[in-house]
Amino acid sequence: MTAKKRVNTALFYAVAIALAVLAMVPFLWMIATSFKSRGALMSIPIEWLPKEPTWDAYIKVFSKFPFARTIANSLFISVSYTAITLFSASLAAFAFAKIRFFGGRLLLSVYLAMMMIPTQVTMIPLFVIMNKLGLTDTYASVIMPSIFRPFAVFLLVQQMRTIPNDFLDAARIDGAGIFQVYRKIALPLCIPSLATLSITTFMESWNDYLWPLLMLSDKNKMTLPIALSTLNGQYNTEYNVLMAGSLISMIPIIIIYVIAQKQFKNGMMAGGIKG
Amino acid sequence: MKNRLPPRRKRGGEGLVTASPFLLPSLIGLLVFSLLPLIISGLISLTDWNGLDRLTDPDFLQDHFVGLANYKSILTTPEFWNTLGNTMEYIVLYIPLMLAASLLVAYLLSRPHRGIGAFRVVYYIPVLTSWVAASLIWKSVLAPQYGAMNGILAWFGIQGPGWLLDEAWAMPAIVLVSVWKDMGFFGLILLSGVVGINKTYYEAADIDGAGGWTKFTRITLPLLTPSIFYVVIVAMINGFQLFPQVMIMTGGGPNGATQVMVERIYQYGFRYYRMGYAAAFSWILFVIIMVFTAIQMKGQERWVHYDS
């Protein structure tokens, strides 16, 4: 039995490590490439480790592009986007879950129906609307859509429904206004869902591509993915520059991941529960 | 009394008054960012609007209304069918490969071995990477002459193809990148399904002397079907909306081999300014997604087991 167990353990590590190598090889290649000089990119045989590592690519990324600014843009947009999503969705979810009102069910089903519509359908008119409002090339154009996020509402409605009405009624009897009930009782009881939601929303906003691509063309306002795709246009095959940019773009989100690992894990679990 | 919660059984105006301040922000959002654009999008799809003339002109519809001509023209061009074919090729290759990879991830991470935490982080790093960065990294890895992929294949004496520059290999390459990026994401979703399976099933199987593989195919897989179903639906919808990988890695090339629907919508709308045509294209995409989702929902009765 123990011999069999040992074989199984060895097999487990063999497969797990093989998969880890597959997952990591592209990143190792990225790191190695980012330290290559332009000439070393096209050496035959391939230089797996740069023979003369240089910072050239990084200097180029930072001098040709306001990359520090770009990181700040990404942070600002993603944090605002997440905050507004949480604010708007938790308010709406409280109304749907805890206040009985005329048309409530119908309205909630309208919200759910909106989840089905691919963003591409509303993208063109939204582009026109933003144009009309003079908002193209502003942070607001990328942040504002966060005010209506049906998936977030849906997730929080599910959570708020589990709060016993007695809790809320008791607070009302003690003289709390309805907003206090929302803020002091409903919200604190939803903290796990809110934490999960903020992580997934932040990630979505951080990595979003199509909408910011349509809205942001000023170098000083771009988010990381848009800056990277611009870099791709300018340095199409200068892979050392592209890899340096990619590496820099990954650092902030990895730091956030390490800090908030638990919430990330719960976020995934929440995704699974719906299945 | 004014400050009591409205009685939960009573319908009517009072509840609405209480609810409205809570609903206001998201209702404004619903109107401005969803319903209004939806209606405008439907209208634009019936016009030959080029993005320049003012939509609010009184003569707008008179000058630009073309009825269903955009839809007809999209559905009768070979380009659309090529695009749909490419999208289907992606989905058909991607879903089984992604499922196999993410089941493996879920299985490995469910094992009680040391170092699981480290493996979880490693498998998750591709998920954290943005699509744009991931696509750039892989563009470099897949570079035919100087890329890592063909360099590694050469160690084994294999002459790798041109990948993104080769008509036959470009789409499989995009599938490969997507599987690499998504296996950790879907793997963790499936993991939560695996963890949720009642342990008594396995104990019973142990008593009957079932082996690991039997337990996996007879217990884990059937009881995991609700999670697998969810993953397949999400993956399929994402598949129809395939975009950044294509934009960054191939731009739809070579020779149209990786043109997909969202990429076409983007090009028609924002490169050629054929807004009406692009809007009609987006509605066709919507209908296709709805049809395939409905088929999946119907089909689930055959293979999804809900344990109750």
Query: What pLDDT, in 10s, does the model give residues A159-192?
Result: 899 888 888 888 888 888 889 999 988 999 888 8
- List Cβ neighbours of A153 (8 Å cut-off, separation of 6 or more): A89, A92, A93, A96, A111, B26
pLDDT at B307: 65
Residues of chain A above pLDDT 90, percent: 50
**Do A48 and B152 meet the contact criterion of CB atoms below 8 Å apart?**
no
Give the number of other CB atoms < 10 A from CB of residue B224: 23
Is the ipTM above a cut-off of 0.85? yes
> What is residue A56's DSSP assignment?
H
Total residue length of chain B: 308
* CA A35 – CA A51 distance, rounded (Å): 9
pLDDT class for B178, splitting at 50, 70, 90? very high
**Do A157 and A104 meet the contact criterion of CB atoms below 8 Å apart?**
no
pLDDT surpasses 80 at B207:
yes
Q: How far A191 CA sits from the closest chain B CA (Å)?
A: 18
Q: Which residues of B touch A20 (CB under 8 A)?
A: 119, 122-123
Q: Which residues of B touch A175 (CB under 8 A)?
A: 3
Structure tokens at B248: 């960054």
* Of A213, A206, A246, nearest in space to A61 by CA: A246
Q: Which residues of B touch A275 (CB under 8 A)?
A: 189, 193, 226-231
pLDDT in tens, A69-88: 999 999 999 999 999 999 99
pLDDT surpasses 80 at A269:
no
pLDDT in tens, A121-141: 999 999 988 988 899 999 999
Domain-wise residue ranges, chain A:
2-57, 65-234
**Do A246 and A172 meet the contact criterion of CB atoms below 8 Å apart?**
no
Q: How far A142 CA sits from the closest chain B CA (Å)?
A: 12
Q: Which residues of B touch A100 (CB under 8 A)?
A: 6-11, 15
> What is residue A49's DSSP assignment?
S
Measured CA angle at B300 (ends B297, B301), to 5 deg:
115
Q: Which of B1, B5, B26 to mutate to test the interface with A (most CBs of A within 10 A)?
A: B26
CB–CB contact A15 B133 (8 Å)? no
pLDDT at B10: 46
pLDDT at A108: 92
- Render chain B in DSSP notation, one character per residue: -TTSPPPTT--SHHHHHHHHHHHHHHHHHHIIIIIHHHHHHHHHTTB---S-S-TT-TTHHHHHB-TTHHHHHHHHSHHHHHHHHHHHHHHHHHHHHHHHHHHHHHHHHHS--TTHHHHHHHHHHHHHS-HHHHHHHHHHHT-TTTSHHHHHHHHTT-----GGGSTTTHHHHHHHHHHHHHHHHHHHHHHHHHHTS-HHHHHHHHHTT--HHHHIIIIIHHHHHHHHHHHHHHHHHHHHT--HHHHHHTTT-STTTT--HHHHHHHHHHTS--HHHHHHHHHHHHHHHHHHHHHHHHHHHHHPPPP-
**Do A141 and A183 meet the contact criterion of CB atoms below 8 Å apart?**
no
Among A23, A176, A246, whose Cβ lies nearest the Cβ of B122? A23
pLDDT class for B11, splitting at 50, 70, 90? very low
pLDDT surpasses 70 at A266:
no
Locate CATH 1.10.3720.10 in chain B.
70-303
Q: Which residues of B touch A148 (CB under 8 A)?
A: 26, 28-30, 32-34
Structure tokens at B123: 């498998």
Q: Which of B23, B163, B191 to mutate to test the interface with A (most CBs of A within 10 A)?
A: B23
Structure tokens at A73: 């843009």
Which residues does residue B47 pair with via DSSP β-bridges, in sequence order? B65
pLDDT surpasses 70 at B116:
yes
B271 shares contact with chain A (CB less than 8 Å): no
The HSE-up count of residue A204 (CA atoms within 13 Å, CB side) is: 19
CB–CB contact B34 A225 (8 Å)? no
**Do A168 and A98 meet the contact criterion of CB atoms below 8 Å apart?**
yes
Give the chain A residue whose CA is nearest to the CA of B264.
Answer: A120
For residues B54-59, average pLDDT: 74
Residues 119-158 of A with CB under 8 A from B: 120-129, 144-145, 147-149, 153
* CA B117 – CA A257 distance, rounded (Å): 13
Which residues does residue B65 pair with via DSSP β-bridges, in sequence order? B47
Residues of chain B above pLDDT 90, percent: 64
Amino acid at B104: L
Identify the CATH number of the domain defined by range B70-303.
Answer: 1.10.3720.10
pLDDT surpasses 50 at B2:
no
**Do A57 and A244 meet the contact criterion of CB atoms below 8 Å apart?**
yes
* CA B130 – CA A209 distance, rounded (Å): 9
- Render B232-280 in DSSP notation, one character per residue: HHHHHHHHHT--HHHHHHTTT-STTTT--HHHHHHHHHHTS--HHHHHH
Residue in the block written with tokens 């908030």: A260
For residues B156-181, average pLDDT: 94
Amino acid at B17: V
pLDDT at A75: 95
Identify the CATH number of the domain defined by range A65-234.
Answer: 1.10.3720.10
Tell me the CA distances in angstroms from B41 to A10, B34, B51, B277, one per residue in order: 57, 10, 12, 11
* CA B48 – CA B33 distance, rounded (Å): 23
pLDDT class for A274, splitting at 50, 70, 90? very low
Buried/exposed code over A186-220 (b: 16+ C-beta within 10 A; e: otherwise):
bbebbeebbbbbbbbbbbbbbbbbbbbbbbbeeee
Of B45-54, B71-80, B221-230, the range with the lowest mean pLDDT is: B45-54
pLDDT at B29: 94
* CA A227 – CA A69 distance, rounded (Å): 11
Residue in the block written with tokens 């906003």: A205
Amino acid at B174: I
CB–CB contact A228 B130 (8 Å)? yes
Among A95, A117, A271, whose Cβ lies nearest the Cβ of B19? A95
pLDDT class for B125, splitting at 50, 70, 90? very high
B5 shares contact with chain A (CB less than 8 Å): yes
pLDDT in tens, B233-255: 999 999 999 999 999 999 888 99
Q: How far B89 CA sits from the closest chain A CA (Å)?
A: 20
Count Cβ atoms within 10 A of the Cβ of residue B290 and give its class: 0-12 exposed, 13-18 middle, 19 or more buried. Answer: middle
> Does the model's pTM come out above 0.80?
yes
* CA B37 – CA B51 distance, rounded (Å): 15
